[in-house]
Each structure stands twice: as C-alpha cells, then as structure tokens.
Structure 1
C-alpha cells in the first residue's frame, strides 16, 4: 500500500526522535513518503495533491486536530468518492479529540501500533463529517466540531496566546474561557446568534452555538466534555446552544456537560444538558447560524475569524478511516 505521512513538526507531544521511530515502524508495512508541513494550510495542500495524484492509497496525519482537519479538507477538495484515499491518524497534539473519538490511544507510539494492526486486518470505518458553508468563502469540512459565538471567541483568545509564545495546555483554555466570560458581559445576557432550521421556528438570542459531529466535544485532560452526548460519526449533526449565561446557570451547565453522559441503566438514552436557557437538537441534516453582528467562528478548534452567516450540512459516510 502506498501512503503519504503528513507530519506537523511542531506537534505538541511528539519529539523528533519519536517521529523517527514512528516513521520507521510505518515503513515496515507501507510504501511510505514523508512530508513535513511548513506553513498553515500546508497539510491541506499535501493531502489534496495526494488525492489528485491517484496513486496514493492512504494519507496518515501525524499531529493535532488542526493538522487532521487540514488533511481532511485536502482529501475532500473535490468531494467524497470511492477514489479518495483513506485517512489514518497518529495523535500528536495536546487534545487529539478526533483520534480519541475514534477510540485510538492518545499516545502516538501506541496509536501507531493500533494503526499497523488495523492495516494488517484490513479494518476501516466510513464516517460522517460536517461541512460549514459561508457565501464568498471556501467550504470547510470538520471532523468533530464547529462553533459560532462564545466558544469560538475562547479559541481565538487561545490562538493569540499561542502566537505570543504560550504553550497550548488545558489550563490555558480554562483561563481564557474565564477571561472571555468576564469581558463579554453584554453578550452573555442576550446573544447575537440565531439558529434557523427547516421545519422549526428560528431560535434567536444564542450566546454560543456548538455544532458536534461526534461526542465528546473535547477533553479537559482525560475528562471528556459532553454538550451533545448523542452526536455520532454515524448520524448527521447535533447542535447545542445557550441563550443566556448567568453565573449560576453557566456553572450548572458546565457540571452537566462534565458528568458521565450515560444514564444509570446500560441501555438508557444518554442524558445531555438541560435547562431554561439550553437549546439542543440531534441528528440535524441542514441548518444555518445567523449573527446580528460578525461573531467568532471555529472549526475543529481552529479560529477562522468572524462570520455573520454560516450554513451547515451533515454528510454521512464522507470518508473512510483506518481504525
């Protein structure tokens, strides 16, 4: 099998020595070409070239969720299809939500072993993805989440800190979330975002809107976060929103999304957050988020600037993943 390994040399949790060991292990089973990313968007360009070349069977992304997202967008530059190379992931970031949602070990060496076992067993899984569309801008595929409003604002703050030299840690995200909460007092009371979904009345006043393609939405260390516990790679998209972020209500919702997502009995339906200001929808194929003013927007933890209108669609069986 001919494969391309896309390596982010700045990946948080992999050293050069670790990467060399992983490359050696993969070359034992694959006709492997290795390419290191050199700029933002480079993983997308490399994956697109591999897909267009037509001779690559597999693209392996070694890096964090940002590297994976770029790789997916490169593979799907011309849309899903049987000729699109398969995807494999070796986690190398600080959180690795997508890899962990697939059930892969968070350690890159263990994940490489799992990948080699999956290749030997010819084991793959078709997964659904989300697609975000803004008029005048390229469509953006996402693997596990997108968001408009408060959560994307936190992502933007974290990226600013990282550009200033701070290391990406869970403590950094929590700290910036608290800072953002304090500084966004007016928008916490009445958000600018409205949810428009076919067959439903519009839902205005959202402070945040989190779109999930799988669950958990993210991790705090080893602790999963569940705003939409029913979200799955096998369904369309889930939406979680909050119309008002009071101190008490927000603390209650945070406790709910951090608790175990399963009810007491094994076959019970997973329980998600609830409350007066909580909005949630499961398995939605098409919907649009509209903001009265440009609001922060993110996909898979990557801040993409401000948007006033973003449409979403769930695409089932969009990509085949070795897992």
Structure 2
C-alpha cells in the first residue's frame, strides 16, 4: 500500500528520535513517503495533493488534532468520495481528542503498533464529520467551509481557545493549568455572560434563543483533562450527525456547577439544569449572534463570527482503526 506520512515536527509529545522509530516501523509495511509540515495549512495542501493525485491509498497523520484537521480538510476539499485515501492517525499532540475518541492509545508508539495490526487485518471504519460554513445573507457568507472531526465552539469556549493560542505564540506550553488560567480570565472579561446573544435555528423546530455559548460535538468525549475524558454531549458519535450543548447563563454559580458536572461527566450523563440545552443528532442548523463572538473548530481559533451554519455528514471518511 502506498502511503503518505504527514509529520508535524512541532508536535508536543514526539521528539525526533521517536519520529524516526515510528517512520521505520511504518516503512516496513508500507510504501511510505514522508513529508514534514513547514507552515500553517501545509498538511492540508499535502493531503489535497495526495487525494487529487490518485496514487496514494493512505494518509497518516503524525501530530495533534490541528494536524489531523488540516489533513481531513485537504482530503475532503472536493467533498466525500469513495475513492479517497483512507486516514490513519498517530497521536503526537498535547490532547489528541480525535485519536482517543477512535479508541487509540495516547502513546504514539503503541498507536503505531495498533495501526499496523489494523492495516494487516484490513480493519477500518467510516466516520461522520461536521462541516461548518458561512451563513447566506450574513457578513460571514463568504467564509470558506471547514470540516471538523470532534468539535466546534461559538462563544465562551472559543474565547478560551483564542487566549490559549495567544499564550502559545508567546512561548507558553499547552498545559491544563494554562487552560484553567485562561478560562478564568475569559470568564472575568466575558461581557455577555448574563444575557445570551446566540440563537440556534433548525428546519422544523422552534428557535432556541438567548444562548451564551454553544459547543457542537461530532463525537464523545468532547475533550480530555489529563487522562480524564470530559463528556459535554455523551450521546454524540461518529455514527450520528451533530450534538449541541448550549448554556443560557454564565453566572459564577452556574459556571462552578457546570464545570463540576463536566469533570464528573460520564458516557451516560453530561451537564444538566435549567440553563442547559442539549440537542442530539442534528443534521442541519445555524448559530447566529447579535454581536461578533469567538469561533473555533477542533481547537483552532478562527476569529470572530456572527453566524455559522452546520451540517453533520455521515460516513464522510474512512479511517484505519
């Protein structure tokens, strides 16, 4: 099998020696081409060329969720097609939500061993993905469409992601303590925490208004706090469309309650209460805000938006697992 390995040399948990070991292991079973990313968006460009060339059968991502997201967007540049290369993931980032949601270990060497076993056995699955694009008739209409693998956020959580990215540009390491600090700062500076500005609309249903934030989940768990999985929408799955967790209030007591619920969440139970909106298996819906809000997909901050239209696409891509 001819394969392209896309390596993010800045991945936080894999050094040069580990990468060499993994490349050697993969090359023993595959006709392997290796490409290291050199700029933001490079993984997307490499995956797109692989998909358009028609010779590569497998694209392997060695990096974090950002690298995986770029590769997925490159593979699906022209939309889902049966003849697209398969995707495989070797986790190399700080959190690796997509890989772990697929059931892979968080260790790159262990994950590579399982990947090789899956390739020998011909084991793969089709996964659903989320697609977000600008809403027609709004200032965001011309924003390019973007695929995401595990989550998108509109409002508070995206603001936290943006703050963390700013700190990482300044040389800070991506740690859980960094996220906690930026979450507190985002809360203290949040101007819309008591009066939500977001409305969710979907065909055939009444609008859900006055939301402070919305988290769109393509799978579960939503993220990890260390080794602890966090379930924002426990019923979300790669086999269904999209789930939404939204909050209509962010008072200090509400934040403390929902943060505790998230940390204690399980595959059967997530956040709940009168200020919580939980929606399951939505194929098409729009989030629109009266004011510009932070927006993120798969942990990548995309700036401020006033609206976003979402589609859950079942069986969008084949993944080796």
Instruction: Give distance in 2, aligned partners of 1:40 and 1:49.
Output: 16
For residues 76 and 317 of structure 1, the distance between their equivalents in structure 2, rounded to whole angstroms, comes to 12
> Cα 1:204–1:260, aligned 2, differ >3 Å: closer, same or farther?
closer
Residue 164, structure 1, aligned to residue 170, structure 2: yes
1:240 equivalent in alignment to 2:238: no
Distance in 1 between residues matched to 2:253 and 2:7, nearest whole Å:
44
Aligned to 2:218: 213
Q: In the alignment, which of 283, 286, 292 is matched to residue 284 of structure 2? A: 286
Compute the RMSD of aligned alpha carbons: 0.8
Q: For each residue in 1:161-209, what CA deviation from the matched residue of structure 2 results, as whole angstroms up to 9, or x when unmatched?
A: 000111111111111001111111x311012211112222211221110
Find the counterpart in structure 1 of residue 31 from structure 2. Answer: 31
Residue from 284, 295, 312 that aligns with 2:310:
312
Which secondary structure does the structure 2 equivalent of 1:82 belong to? coil
Q: Which residue of structure 2 lines up, in the alignment, with residue 187 of structure 1?
A: 192
Structure 1: runs of 5 or more not aligned: 263-269
Q: Tell me, in whole angstroms, the C-alpha distance in 2 between the residues paired with 1:176 and 1:272.
A: 23
1:119-198 correspondence runs (5 A): 119-134=119-134, 135-184=141-190, 186-198=191-203
**Match in the other structure for 2:259:** 254
Q: How many residues align?
A: 315
Q: Which moved further from structure 2: 139-148 or 250-259?
A: 250-259
**Which ranges of structure 2 fall in alignment gaps of 5 or more residues?**
135-140
Q: Which runs of 4+ in 1 moved over 6 A?
A: none
Q: 1:201-255 CA distances to partner (integer Å, 9 max, x unpaired)?
A: 2112211100000001001111111110000000000000001011112211112
Q: Distance in 1 between matches of 2:245 and 2:202?
A: 13
| 3-state SS in 2 of match to 1:187 | coil
> Counterpart of 1:93?
93
Secondary structure at 1:287 match in 2: strand
SS at match of 1:188: coil
Q: Secondary structure at the match of 2:188?
A: helix
- The corresponding residue for 1:66 is 66
SS at match of 1:189: coil
SS at match of 2:245: strand
d(CA) in 2 for partners of 1:243, 1:219 = 24
Q: Which stretch of the first structure deviates more once superposed, 243-252 or 232-241? A: 243-252
